[in-house]
Amino acid sequence: MGYRFVLRKLTYPSQVRPGGLLAFTSWWENKGVAPCYRRFRLALRLENPQHNLTLIADADLRSWLPGDNLCDSTVAIPADAFAGQYDLAVGILDERIDEPRVKIAVEGRRPHRVYFAASAGPNLPTTARGFRLSDSERIVR
């Protein structure tokens, strides 16, 4: 394996409405000596005790050469998603199934190679129909 992905920074909005788009910017470093040759998928995961949403980003990790790589993308929030407080996690999924396959070189690994990115902020009332995410800029060291 000639690649080693390190998440350096992840920026995203503090609130997203169901049916809307969650735009994010991420800075990755490939500390390896080659790109990844498999069609792995970058995913954001919104999690709370009641609900989980796995959202696949439009990113071609095969183009992430050794060194710095920026990924600006958006993921669609389903219109029927539940409002509330969510944690944000990031993972690199298998090309065929929605299971993380790549270890990311950051702290905060959760079970099954999904990585904690940000803690949720205060809960929004259900009538607001929005997601509240705090720490809109996370710098990973």
Amino acid residing at 80: D
CATH number of the domain to which 61 belongs: 2.60.40
Cross-strand bridge partners of residue 67:
30
Q: Would you state the pLDDT for residue 113?
A: 52
Q: Which domain holds residue 63?
A: 5-139
Number of domain units in the chain: 1
pLDDT tens by residue, the chain, 141 residues: 699 998 888 888 878 888 888 899 999 999 999 999 999 999 988 888 888 888 999 999 999 999 999 999 999 988 888 888 888 888 888 888 777 777 777 666 665 555 555 544 323 223 333 345 433 333 333
DSSP-assigned beta bridge partners for residue 9: 27, 139
pLDDT at 129: 35
Task: Please measure the distance between the N-terminal and C-terminal CA atoms of the chain and give it in whole angstroms.
Answer: 23
pLDDT of residue 110: 60
Give the count of beta carbons closer than 10 Å to the beta carbon of residue 133.
Answer: 22
Position 131 scores a pLDDT of 46
DSSP secondary structure letter of residue 133: B
